[in-house]
């Protein structure tokens, strides 16, 4: 080979041999055009040259990397979603969506399939973790006042993500086709039908019946049977995950377009002395990567804010994200080893499970539903969702953005609202549990009164009035929002705990499951 | 092109007459086509024929059935009673959220959110919005035909 100097002189076979030897190197060059990410420039192109990474911006503000800014909650939610995706696909190898057969295939997965139970446990735990962290993530975005301009739209995306995350869990709950699943879905489907409670009371059901239509579309029949199972399956493995993934893409993209995570105006000075590996990009960096910003009309993300306290996303942000992913995997696997996902007896349409309980995060709703199906199952959840969605549009104050409990009132309001938020539902529930409600006092009461005056609506109204009071007292919309959101979290907590631990057979109050009647 | 407002930058776009009639009507046509196509597609998931078993079924009552004692046909959510005035059937599907109520001497009791009903199906406690419906019963030789799709006024008994 040493005799040949140029490629032209080499024989075809030799050229082939050379190409073959150069293959790994050459292939790497075609896939990753920019080489090892070890300079500012290659680190930037490492990010924007990659379809998946370029949802991130190439540099990340140090404020965003502080653990207290996000607590990693959004990333944990994303990681949990990825875990459910992978384990879910594995479960699909054996799961068969047909009544009774479905239950048998769950039993197979649980008892026969190698690692089947383990994978199912991970799936179940990751789904639960996702629900917990999506709520906590929303709370952190709220309490750091990160929903404000220009992030209003992303807050709405978040609300949609919350709703779909819950829908994913709910549809997944039916798939095992055991007693728990069957009765939870029967109740859920009838909640969907509960606008009938209203149309019935008004005598309109004959003419328009939105409740009945929703239920028919959901179940594909008038009872929970094969049609319902295949529909829930389709929603669970296909429609909802696709929508969720798409909205997550928009959510992430918007974070970047909104100029990274929210941070206080004086973030720079609060961060103090910059770490040694950072330096002002615009003056010293070998190549700035912001040229594109010049042709974009309007405000670019960094206008008005120097990029001085930023570090390259590769490796600082990506390694942090990877660490959070590994942490989430670790938690899921550990929980899956410790505790098995439940599987009750085969679904029996003529004997309800007693008590028939939905997954834990719906038990607060179930508690409300036990006062009025329509208000508890549809009316109040809708009001809450709309209320949450309106927050960034009704509170447009600017002080405190990006700070924990930032804005007027701050931690003070949160503490007071926590007290009210816990006291109101505990008080109302105590009355309802000890003395019953209107129907027990006046048996002839028409349904429409029970629908609109019941513990669920009273708690909601009390919360709303309290927040209006806060807006007046502090003369600040942020104070009202802080109060309302805190009350909402507290109410959710109290009702969920009552529904989970203190309700027994026939939804009767018991201090402990040990007191449940034996049958 | 008469107005002489100073151009802010060479990158500012030239004004384009977008609101031309043809463009708008094309957009409108496309939008309405997609809208109606979507509506039409919704017809598919809305079932026309329900897959559930027939809602009319015959019942043979045991001779030993006492007054006020419920007979529950196998696999059905209906309680059939017989007294001196005749035979009647009450649905055992809770009008709250569809659990199956249990019959007891005082009436019916729902395990899911604690609704209670009296022996004639009237709500006495809990969140159920409506009384348990009475179903149509007709005689057919020594059998009784129960029709779950037809609701009759409480008190109607077949002989
Ligand atoms: C599947 C559900 C969700 C996923 C996977 C997700 C993911 C993320 C991630 C990774 C971030 C980056 C910062 C962080 O890690 O905290 C983020 C930011 C954000 N999220 Fe979410 N999120 C979800 C749901 C929600 C919900 C329910 C809300 C609120 C209603 C929300 C509102 C926001 C807002 C406003 C930001 C920007 C925060 C800031 O600028 O500081 N997201 N999300
Ligand atoms: S389903 Fe009977 S009380 Fe709720």
**Is the pLDDT confidence value at A459 over 90?**
yes
Give, using CA atoms, the residue closest to atom 42 of ligand 1. A158
CATH assignment at residue B86? 2.102.10.10
Class of the CATH domain delimited by A61-262+313-353: mainly alpha
The reply to whether residue A436 touches residue B52, judged by beta carbons under 8 angstroms, is no
Choosing from A75, A158, A169 the residue with most ligand 1 atoms within 8 A of its CB, the one to mutate for a pocket test is: A158
Q: Which atom of ligand 2 is nearest to the CA of A370?
A: 4
The domain limits of chain A are: 61-262+313-353, 359-519
CB atoms within 10 A of CB A450: 22
Question: Which residue's alpha carbon is nearest to atom 27 within ligand 1?
Answer: A158
B38 CB neighbours in chain A (<8 A) are: none
* Contact flag A220-B47 (C-beta cutoff 8 Å): yes
Q: What is the pTM of this model?
A: 0.87
Residue A106 pLDDT = 94
Which ipTM was obtained for this model?
0.80
Residue B116, domain member (yes or no): yes
Task: State the residue range of the domain holding B107.
Answer: 56-152
Contact at 8 Å (CB) between A155 and A141? Answer: yes
Q: Is residue B137 part of a domain?
A: yes
Whole-angstrom distance, CA of residue A401 vs CA of residue A148: 7
Q: Whose CA is nearest to atom 1 of ligand 2?
A: B97
Do the domain assignments include residue B37?
no
Does residue B132 lie within any of the structural domains? yes
**Is residue B68 one of the residues assigned to a domain?**
yes
Among A127, A369, A468, CA closest to B128: A369
pLDDT of residue A3: 46
Ligand nearest to the CA of A162: 1
In a domain, B38, yes or no: no
Per residue in A362-385, pLDDT (tens digit) is 888 888 888 888 888 889 999 999
Shortest Cα distance from A311 to chain B (angstroms)?
A: 31
Residue B145, domain member (yes or no): yes
**Is the pLDDT assigned to residue A495 strictly greater than 80?**
yes
Number of folded domains that form chain B: 1
Mean of all residue pLDDT scores within chain A: 86
3 state DSSP class of A189? helix
Give the start-end residues of each E strand in chain B.
Answer: 56-59, 78-83, 86-91, 102-104, 107-109, 116-118, 123-125, 134-140, 143-152
DSSP readout, A227-253? HHHHHHHHIIIIIHHHHHHHHHHHHHH
Query: Angle at the Cα of A379 (from A376 to A385), degrees rounded to 5?
Result: 105
Which residues of B lie closer than 8 Å to A, measured between beta carbons?
11-12, 45-47, 50-52, 72, 75-77, 96-100, 109-114, 123-127, 129-130
Q: Which atom of ligand 2 is nearest to the CA of B97?
A: 1
Tens of pLDDT, residues B95-117: 888 888 888 888 898 888 888 89
User: Is B127 within a domain?
Assistant: yes
Choosing from B92, B95, B97 the residue with most ligand 2 atoms within 8 A of its CB, the one to mutate for a pocket test is B97
How far apart are the CA of A121 and the centre of ligand 1, in A? Answer: 26
Q: Give phi and psi for B138, each to the nearest 5.
A: -130, 155
């Amino acid at each position: 080979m040493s005799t040949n100097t140029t490629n032209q002189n080499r024989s075809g076979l030799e050229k082939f041999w050379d190409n073959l030897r150069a293959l790994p190197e050459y292939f790497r060059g075609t896939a990753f055009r920019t080489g090892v990410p070890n300079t500012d420039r290659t680190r930037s192109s490492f990010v924007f040259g990659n379809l998946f990474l370029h949802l991130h911006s190439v540099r990340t503000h140090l404020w965003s990397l502080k653990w207290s800014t996000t607590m990693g909650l959004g990333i944990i939610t994303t990681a949990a979603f990825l875990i459910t995706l992978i384990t879910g696909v594995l479960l699909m190898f054996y799961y068969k969506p047909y009544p009774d057969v479905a239950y048998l295939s769950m039993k197979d997965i649980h008892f026969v399939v190698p690692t089947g139970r383990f994978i199912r446990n991970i799936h179940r735990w990751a789904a639960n973790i996702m629900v917990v962290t999506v709520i906590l993530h929303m709370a952190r975005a709220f309490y750091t006042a990160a929903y404000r301009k220009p992030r209003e739209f992303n807050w709405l995306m978040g609300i949609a993500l919350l709703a779909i995350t819950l829908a994913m869990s709910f549809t997944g709950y039916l798939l095992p086709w055991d007693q728990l699943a069957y009765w939870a879905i029967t109740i859920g489907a009838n909640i969907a039908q509960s606008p009938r409670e209203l149309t019935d009371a008004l005598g309109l059901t004959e003419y328009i019946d939105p409740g009945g239509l929703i239920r028919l579309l959901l179940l594909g029949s008038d009872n929970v049977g094969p049609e319902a199972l295949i529909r829930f399956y389709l929603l669970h493995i296909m429609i909802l995950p696709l929508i969720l993934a798409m909205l997550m893409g928009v959510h992430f993209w918007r974070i970047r377009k909104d100029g990274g995570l929210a941070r206080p105006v004086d973030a720079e000075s609060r961060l103090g002395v910059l770490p040694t590996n950072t330096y002002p990009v615009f003056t010293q960096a070998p190549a700035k990567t912001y040229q594109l910003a010049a042709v974009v009309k309007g405000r670019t993300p960094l206008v008005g804010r120097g990029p001085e306290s930023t570090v390259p996303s590769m490796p600082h942000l990506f390694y942090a994200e990877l660490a959070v992913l590994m942490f989430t995997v670790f938690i899921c696997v550990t929980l899956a080893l410790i505790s098995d996902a439940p599987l009750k007896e085969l679904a029996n349409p003529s004997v309800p499970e007693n008590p028939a309980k939905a997954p834990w995060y719906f038990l607060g709703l179930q508690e409300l539903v036990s006062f009025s199906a329509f208000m508890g199952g549809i009316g109040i959840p809708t009001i809450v969702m709309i209320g949450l969605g309106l927050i960034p549009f009704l509170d447009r104050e600017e002080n405190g953005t990006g700070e924990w409990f930032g804005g007027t009132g701050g931690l003070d309001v949160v503490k007071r609202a926590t007290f009210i938020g816990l006291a109101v539902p505990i008080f109302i529930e105590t009355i309802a549990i000890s003395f019953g409600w209107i129907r027990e006092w006046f048996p002839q009461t028409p349904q429409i009164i029970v629908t609109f005056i019941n513990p669920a609506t009273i708690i909601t109204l009390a919360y709303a009035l309290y927040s209006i009071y806060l807006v007046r007292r502090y003369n600040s919309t942020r104070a009202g929002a802080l109060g309302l959101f805190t009350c909402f979290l507290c109410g959710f907590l109290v009702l969920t705990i009552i529904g989970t631990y203190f309700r027994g057979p026939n939804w009767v109050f018991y201090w402990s499951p040990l007191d449940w009647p034996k049958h | 092109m008469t107005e002489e407002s100073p151009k802010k930058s060479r990158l500012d776009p030239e004004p384009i007459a977008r609101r031309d009639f043809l463009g708008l009507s094309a957009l409108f046509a496309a939008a309405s086509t997609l809208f109606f196509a979507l509506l039409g597609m919704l017809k598919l998931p809305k079932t026309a024929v329900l897959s559930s078993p027939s809602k009319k079924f015959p019942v043979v009552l045991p001779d030993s059935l006492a007054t006020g004692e419920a007979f529950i046909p196998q696999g059905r959510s209906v309680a059939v009673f017989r007294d001196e005035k005749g035979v009647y059937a009450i649905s055992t599907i809770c009008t709250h959220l569809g659990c199956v109520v249990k019959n007891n001497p005082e009436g019916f009791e729902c395990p899911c959110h604690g609704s209670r009903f009296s022996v004639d199906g009237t709500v006495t406690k809990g969140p159920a919005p409506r009384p348990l419906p009475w179903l149509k019963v007709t005689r057919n030789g020594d059998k009784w035909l129960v029709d779950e799709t037809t609701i009759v006024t409480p008190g109607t008994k077949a002989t």
